[in-house]
Amino acid sequence: MSTTRRRFLTTATTTTLATATVPYFGWQKKTLADESKAKNDRVAIGLIGAGGMGCGNLRTAAQWIDVVAIADADTGRASKANKLLSDGKAQEYADYRAILDRKDIDVLHIATPDHWHTKPLIEAMLAGKDVYCEKPLTLTIDEGKLIRKVQKETGRVVQVGTQQRSQFQLFVKAVAMVASGRVGKIKKITAAIGAGPTCDALPAVSPPAELDWDRWLGPVPAVDYRYVQKPGKKGRPNTNCHYEFRWWYEFSGGKLTDWGAHHVDIAVWALEQAGQAGEHGGPTGIGGTATHPVPFKNGMPVERDRYNTATGFLLSAAYPNDVELIIRHDTDNGVTIEGDKGKIFVNRGKLVGAPVEALADDPLPEDAIAKVYKGLPMEADGRKAHWATFLNCVKTRKSPISDVHSHMRALNVCHLAGISARLGRHIAWDAKSEQITGDNEANAMLSRPYRKGYEIDMG
């Protein structure tokens, strides 16, 4: 493993992309489906994390890719994903590191729980792989600093799974309206992301035989496996494992990073397109109120047997020149952008407001959407477009629409909101140095130690 990564770092300029067979997606008469027909155009992909998101993403991209390797700490999930995605032909692994040395795989999809994003992503980049990694990209702000550093050093293409950045008819159009001055100078943006869930105390039980619980925990401190199937109800159980990991600070940031990674990302993108994100692209501070389902002491939950992330919040991030970015749970899910010329609201189902209605008589310029989309191909919409753009960038070496640098500018706001919520006080942020100022306790929460045996292998 280490030898492979060191070899890559010394031979990056002679990367195998010269001979890679990746489909071209662009403004051409041929459709994406036509481009994918040639066998040699298909991309061999390794999947790390075989849950619903990983399977859903790769089914979306199925016309362009072949899944040849699957890694998951849950052998049952790996087997199920293998049958679904490759008719059982992919090689299954318990340890993702076995995929990184495979020379037939140039592209990886990481769809693990949040606490398992940073380590395999960094090691994949050092191994010479391009990566589509699910959001939120990190568990802490300092992880984001390291990811950005490694990406710059290796030049790998990394697309973050914030697929709203590829929804042209709604979110991209809304940002294009902002960039075209249709709402004027932004005064306030509100990201409404919904309330977090609660549950009763969950008993510690033995994990299922197919789940390697220690490996699933990986970098975070060891805790008991907890699980209760809701009596008389269908759907997901209450647990601290698959899917429900989102509601535990041990593994995630709750709604603030889960949905915040989507809507705060759109808010920050709009501020940047309006030229109002500040010189260093971040807020000066954040504060407000938040409620949690368990007591907290020194920013940590006192009770560890039930969901502990914030259930409700009204937090405000201050940007330069009196611009306010609000994150709240109690209004219609979506993003409201208020400027001195008007207000628009956008979510996954609608784009409304007086400036939108005015487009009937005064449409956006033909290239308005293309400009905010960085001139990248736009032959699909939503999640499919997000994958098409990524695969195009793998070939062209362009920066994708949701690169690690833009993503972390937005995700840092979400992480800061979480720190403020957990400590119950306002925190000041120096966007240039990326440090919390005047609060040593809060600043210490920018990072977390990795459990022994699960440190990042920097080669």
Between residues 236 and 406, the one the model is more confident about: 406
Band the pLDDT of 40: cuts 50, 70, 90. Answer: low
What was the pLDDT predicted at 379? 85
DSSP β-bridge partners for residue 325: 189, 317
Q: Residue type for 398, please?
A: K
- The position carrying tokens 């535990």 is 248
| Angle at alpha carbon of residue 326, lines to 335 and 283, rounded to 5° | 115
The percentage of residues in the chain with a pLDDT greater than 70, rounded to a whole number, is: 91
Q: Over range 72-94, report the average pLDDT.
A: 98
CB under 8 Å to 149, separation ≥6 — which residues?
none
Does a cis peptide bond (omega within 30 degrees of 0) precede residue 136? yes
* Entry pTM: 0.92
Q: What are the pLDDT digits (tens) for 203-242?
A: 999 999 999 999 999 999 999 999 999 777 678 899 999 9
Q: Is the predicted pLDDT of residue 190 greater than 60, yes or no?
A: yes
Between residues 291 and 31, the one the model is more confident about: 291
Q: What are the pLDDT digits (tens) for 259-309?
A: 999 999 999 999 999 999 999 999 999 999 999 999 999 999 999 999 999
Q: Which domains does the chain have, with CATH numbers?
A: 2-164 (3.40.50.720), 166-196+251-382+398-446 (3.30.360.10)
Output the DSSP codes for 362-387. SPPPTTHHHHHTTT---SS-THHHHH
Q: Which residues of 9-117 form beta strands (DSSP E)?
A: 43-48, 65-71, 91-93, 107-110
What number of H helices and E strands is found in the chain? 16, 19
Q: Over range 124-137, report the average pLDDT.
A: 98
What was the pLDDT predicted at 234? 74
Band the pLDDT of 384: cuts 50, 70, 90. Answer: very high
Q: Which residues of 170-293 form beta strands (DSSP E)?
A: 186-192, 227-228, 238-239, 285-291
Taking all residues of the chain, what is their mean pLDDT, rounded to a whole number?
Answer: 92
Q: Is the predicted pLDDT of residue 423 greater than 90, yes or no?
A: yes
What was the pLDDT predicted at 233? 66
Helix, strand, coil abundance in the chain, percent, nearest 5: 35, 20, 45
- Report how far apart, in Å, the C-alpha atoms of 452 and of each of 122, 214, 215, 294 are: 18, 12, 12, 28
What was the pLDDT predicted at 246? 98
Closest by Cα among 27, 33, 23 to 378: 27
